Amino acid sequence: MQASITKYEFKSGLPVEFEIIPLDKLYSHHADMLTTPHRTGFYHILWFREGTPVHWVDFEPIQIQPGTLLFLNKDRVQRFDVQADAEGYAILFTADFFNKDLKYLHGNILFNDLMKVAMIHLSNNTRPFSELVDLMQWELAHLKDAGQPDILHNLLHNFLLYAEREYRQQAFTELKKNADLDYLLLFREMLEVHYQIQKQVQFYARELLVTEKRLNTATSNTVGKTPKEMIDDRVMLEAKRLLAHTHGTIKEIGYTLGYEEPTNFIKYFKKHDGRTPVEFREQFLRE
């Protein structure tokens, strides 16, 4: 059996793939699920209006303060704090909900997480966010009709625009929008699909219809890494996720990541981390 981390898909049966849930309600109904490492096939905006929990995203503990907005891309491994002292909202939506404007979503500074997880601290400027959440909640409770998806999409889009404005005012270094960034985003999107099988830069360059040199220029100019380094980072992140959060054997985890022979996976992991997979797992479990 292959090693895997529990993944949750969006709730089925809703008129639109968009939902707002109060955090206290989320905890009361799904505490066990939330406080166990998991990933989701949809996007999160977590608005912690009150409380100071620690929210784990992959291996990074994020200390929350009252008034924090946290933006989480789909498929990130996260874990909510066991101490459920938070009040606020979880705004959940899928890529399909944004299907008319996917380019905006994929290039959005709040969700591209090329540098770090986007976090915004709201001080007194909460009025537009509160009003938009109220409008979204009202619309969700309203009679369902053909116009509802567009209304909700527009309200969410405005919420994100206000959040982008706040993010830019809080010492965020924005990547310059140019052809390099376009290629980088396309490469990373393709990498998410193929990293378990395809680990050669040549494959991605060919699929993107560019030379390896051009792809290298795009990634190096944008995030200071070569395409090969980005591939290795993605493989190592998944390897560490599986070692830390599953009971899969080294053989099973290596196979999941495209390594037929466990020894090849062990050599690869040690080359990039300095520890063997077993040493990493044992150290993680002790911490």
pLDDT digits (tens, 9 = 90+) for 196-230: 999 999 999 999 999 999 999 999 999 999 999 99
- What's the mean per-residue pLDDT of the chain? 92
- Distance in angstroms (rounded) separating the CA atoms of residues 167 and 228: 30
Asked if the model's pLDDT at residue 2 lies above 80, the reply is: no
> What pLDDT score does 115 carry?
63
Percent of the chain topping pLDDT 70: 98
The string over 36-75, giving b where at least 16 C-beta atoms fall within 10 Å of a residue's C-beta and e elsewhere, is: eebbbebbbbbbbbebebebbbbeeebebeebbbbbbbbe
pLDDT tens-digit profile of 228-243?
999 999 999 999 999 9
Asked if the model's pLDDT at residue 122 lies above 50, the reply is: yes
- Distance in angstroms (rounded) separating the CA atoms of residues 151 and 19: 13
Asked if the model's pLDDT at residue 24 lies above 70, the reply is: yes
Domains of the chain: 7-168 (2.60.120.280), 179-286 (1.10.10.60)
- Distance in angstroms (rounded) separating the CA atoms of residues 78 and 227: 26
- Distance in angstroms (rounded) separating the CA atoms of residues 29 and 275: 39
Asked if the model's pLDDT at residue 114 lies above 80, the reply is: no
With tokens 């996007």, the residue in question is: 43
Do 185 and 106 meet the contact criterion of CB atoms below 8 Å apart? yes
How does DSSP classify residue 97? Answer: G
> What pLDDT score does 3 carry?
65
Q: How confident is the model at residue 116 (pLDDT cuts 50, 70, 90)?
A: confident
User: Mean pLDDT throughout 130-149?
Assistant: 92
Angstrom CA distances, 194 to 28, 39, 63, 113, 189, stand at 37, 18, 33, 19, 9
